Structure 1
Amino acid sequence: MSNSKGSLPPRSNGPQGGRGQQNRTAPQTKTKKKKVVKRSFFARLIRVLLMLVLIAVLAGLGYAGYLYYKFEKGGFGTDQAVDSGQLASAKPLTMLLLGTDNRPKHPSNLTDVIMVAALNPDTKSATVVSLPRDTYVELSGYKKNKINAYYARFKAKEDTSGISAEDEMKTMMGKYLDVDIDYVTVLDFQGFRDIVDELGGVDVNISADMCYTDSVDGTDINLKKGPARLNGDDALDYVRYRKSNCSPKTEGSDDFDRNKRQNEVLNALVGQMQSLGGVLKIGNVMDAVGNNLETDIENEQIKSMIATYWKISKENIAFVPVTGTWRSPYVYINDTELENAKQSLQATLAGSAAASETP
């Protein structure tokens, strides 16, 4: 008995010491468990975030690869090679933009939209000169005519002349604006509609009610004054509207107002294309235009243009609509405005003036 009692710790210290030991060690054990749980949680969180980043990067690379595949296989440009010194990233370029009124119910090659754009990779700026469709052109080597009739005339002569209408237009417009034109892109009405629809519409501010109907070609314009988001059909009506035959009649519009509206829509589309939503819809836009677009830009050049100008600021895009005097059936261009337009293009190409958005 004495031996067993002697082997036990004193009563006064034993239980208290035991409880004191437990009180000291228990909190330490709990603290260690909390730290382990916290580290484990943050480790999992970091792993999840890293995986999301990796997926985003891979998705971005996959989408970029998809776009490159579309350019290579989609027939949007030519397969010709481009010298590195001629790429959009290396030198200023000019482009003629034509919008034809060709559509299923009304086949035609008249150009309702005539624009010439100059782009400079160093200043990341662009100038877009637009001309009224009824502009009277008197140019050496060409018959006097409305500017919108030349493309159709060149198209009709392609078989006999052996020169494409697109090349003829580049030569003529280059001579008219005193600038060498590198490329031309032609988009018809349906292509324009499809682009707007694929981007989810376009935001504009309609200055007045617009109403016009034409049962022959299916035109049915009925737009109300005020801010609006237009689908492809309505956006086309907006840029085409000229006069009213409704009752009551709405205020008419001339070629100069049409050019302003064209610039307004183009400016809005630039912003939408640069948004995340627009970026993700590029593939669908390219599918949509399909056979409704013609261009002589090389595939390699298209890629360079996207890489160089994709994030160009809208403030660095100058829209220069040239106006004049309307004397039926022509618009006689103001010589001073035409000269200013030529100088604006030259200044952008030379990098001597930063572009600013035209109101």
Structure 2
Amino acid sequence: MSNPENGLPPRKSSGKKAAKTQKPKKKKSFLKSFMMFILFLLIVGAVAGGLYAYYISNQVEAVLDTGIDKEVPKTELAEAKPLTMLLLGTDYRPEHQTYLSDVVMVVTLNPNTKSATMVSLPRDTKVELDGYRSRKLNEYYPIFKSKEKTSGISAEAEMKTMISKYMNINIDYVSAINFQGFRDIVDELGGVNVTVDKNMCYRDSADGTDINLTAGDKHLNGDEALDFVRYRKSNCSPKTAASDDFDRNKRQNQVLHALIDQMQSFGGIAKLGNVIKAVDNNLTTDIESQQMKNMLTTYWNISKDNVKYRPVGGTWQSPYVYINEDELEEARQALKDEEAGTSTPSGTASAELDENP
């Protein structure tokens, strides 16, 4: 894994150049892609079953080394306090080398309640934030990435600072995973069972995309699962119905829960080592090795029923999604409630567009 440096000072609107920090080292491949929630899956649902604790600890010790050996104070470990993470899923894969963050999630984990709250923000959200030029949410990460050499600040650290300010909550860690990592994880688990909500057809010879799914209960491999969560519009004849950011968020949630089920099965546990390796090859994170191991052991038995998913709604007016400010504020409060241990089970309210793109 690779890791951005911690401790980025708050971004100010004065235009002054930020203090330089060491950029992350790349271990095997890149970061990015999209199912950042896949990292979340590993952290909160990947290792289920107390009978496998010894096996798990050995797998983690042998494989899950983030490359950050800094010691974490006991009071700062996942077992001792709630943690909030930014999860980025980018569209990078070998055949399509871009860095748009198609998934942006903020997750708060509470060790006392063994629960988590996930807030998912639409990728096309128009962000208006003091100190930052207004643009689509998914455009910031590649822009920050293009400036890493001159700024000396990793794109991941920049995103952590920006989203902390946007969500009004301190974010402890940031992680990014790419499309290839998502494919590999699903394939390592032998596929995933989902209900495809509509026929989906889209082709793009430029990057090799060939989405062709039919509605109904399906068992999808890695490529198909990626098609399922990515699908937006059709260019086929006849055309299939389009999807908006909120349809995609719902499908992400469905796949997340299906993968938690897969990981918590006997077969999933048996494949844990290969799943961790699949993540390791496609992940960038600033989580210390000690903290990563502590997260896994702390949340090994979390129930998917205790994972509260809160997509944020809004209105589509091309080319932006204009966020519903009331829902955004509710999501911010939900993260704070999770941190305080006062969160309620109801966190799966669906978000709707006022007008589809």
SS where residue 246 of structure 1 aligns? Answer: coil
| Partner secondary structure for residue 108 of structure 2 | strand
Larger relative CO (CA 8 A, sep 6+): 1 or 2? 2
- Letter of the aligned partner of 1:239 in structure 2? V
1:92 corresponding residue in structure 2: 82
Within 5 Å, which residues of 2 pair with 1:337-348?
A: 337-348=327-338
Q: Does 1:80 align with 2:70?
A: yes
Deviation sequence 1:162-201 (CA, Å, 0-9, x none):
2111111011001111100001110011011001111111
Q: Report the more deviating stretch, 62-71 or 233-242.
A: 62-71
Q: Structure 2 stretches of 5 or more lacking a match?
A: 1-49, 350-357
1:64 Cα offset (Å) = 3.1
Task: Check if 1:66 corresponds to 2:56.
Answer: no
Instruction: Please point out which of 309, 312, 321 is paired with 2:299.
Output: 309
How many residues are paired up?
300
| 1:217 has 2:207 as partner | yes
Q: Cα 1:77–1:231, aligned 2, differ >3 Å: closer, same or farther?
A: farther
The alpha-carbon deviation at position 67 of structure 1 amounts to 2.8
Give the 3 Å change call, closer, same or farther, for CA 115–63 of structure 1 in structure 2.
closer
- Cα distance, 1:246–1:354 mapped onto 2, change above 3 Å: same
Partner of 1:230: 220
Deviation of 1:327 after TM superposition, in Å, equals 0.6
**1:271 positional shift:** 2.1
Match of 2:190 in 1: 200
Partner of 1:20: none
Report the more deviating stretch, 333-342 or 289-298: 289-298
Equivalent-residue separation in structure 2 for 1:241 and 1:188 (angstroms): 16
Q: Tell me if the contact between 1:348 and 1:355 (Cα under 8 Å) persists in the aligned partners.
A: no
Contact 1:318 1:357 in 2 (8 A): yes
Change (3 A) 1:266 1:338: same
Query: Which structure 2 residues correspond to residues 170-209 of structure 1 after superposition, within 5 A?
Result: 170-209=160-199
1:126 to 88, 97, 116: 116
Partner of 2:98: 108
Instruction: Tell me the SS of whatever aligns to 1:170.
Output: helix
Cα distance change of structure 1 residues 207 and 168 upon mapping to structure 2, 3 Å threshold: same
Give the whole-Å Cα distance in 2 for the aligned partners of 1:337 and 1:107: 34
Question: Equivalences for 1:1-359 in 2 at 5 Å?
Answer: 61=54, 64-72=57-65, 76-356=66-346, 358=348
Q: Is the 8 A contact 1:94 1:181 kept in 2?
A: yes
Q: What is the distance in 2 between the residues matched to 1:120 and 1:356? A: 16
Q: Which amino acid aligns with 1:135?
A: T
Q: Structure 2: how far apart are the matches of 1:141 and 1:81?
A: 33
**Secondary structure at 1:181 match in 2:** coil
1:304 and 1:274 map into 2 onto residues whose CA distance is 18
Equivalent-residue separation in structure 2 for 1:273 and 1:126 (angstroms): 17
* Alpha-carbon distance, 1:291 to partner: 2.8
Residue 240 of structure 2 aligns to a residue in which SS? coil
Out of 259-268 and 186-195, give the one that drifted further. Answer: 259-268
| 1:171–1:153 CA distance, 2 compared to 1 (3 A) | same
What one-letter code is carried by the residue in structure 1 that aligns with 2:108? Answer: A
SS in 2 for 1:88: coil
Question: Aligned-pair RMSD on alpha carbons?
Answer: 1.7
Instruction: Find the aligned partners of 1:196 and 1:270 in 2 and give their Cα distance.
Output: 11
Q: Following TM superposition, by how much is the alpha carbon of 1:338 offset from its aligned partner in structure 2, in angstroms?
A: 0.3
- TM score, norm. by length of structure 2: 0.81
Q: Secondary structure at the match of 2:281?
A: helix
Which stretch has the larger CA shift, 280-289 or 205-214?
Answer: 280-289
CA deviation digits over 1:212-233, x for unaligned, max 9? 1011110000011011111110
Q: Who wins on radius of gyration, i.e. which is larger?
A: 1
CA positional deviation for 1:289: 2.8
Per the alignment, in what secondary structure is the counterpart of residue 238 of structure 1? helix
Following TM superposition, the consecutive aligned residue runs of length 4 or more in structure 1 with deviations greater than 6 angstroms are: 57-60
* Residue deviations 1:291-337 (CA, integer Å, cap 9, x gap): 31111111111111111111111111110001111111100000111
SS at match of 2:210: strand
Percent of pairs identical after alignment?
A: 62
Q: Does the residue aligned with 2:186 lie in a helix, a strand or coil? A: helix
Stretch deviating more after TM superposition (303-312 or 141-150): 303-312
Contact map agreement 2:60 2:293 (CA 8 A) in 1: no
- For 1:184 and 1:300, locate their aligned partners in 2 and report how far apart those are by CA, in whole Å: 16
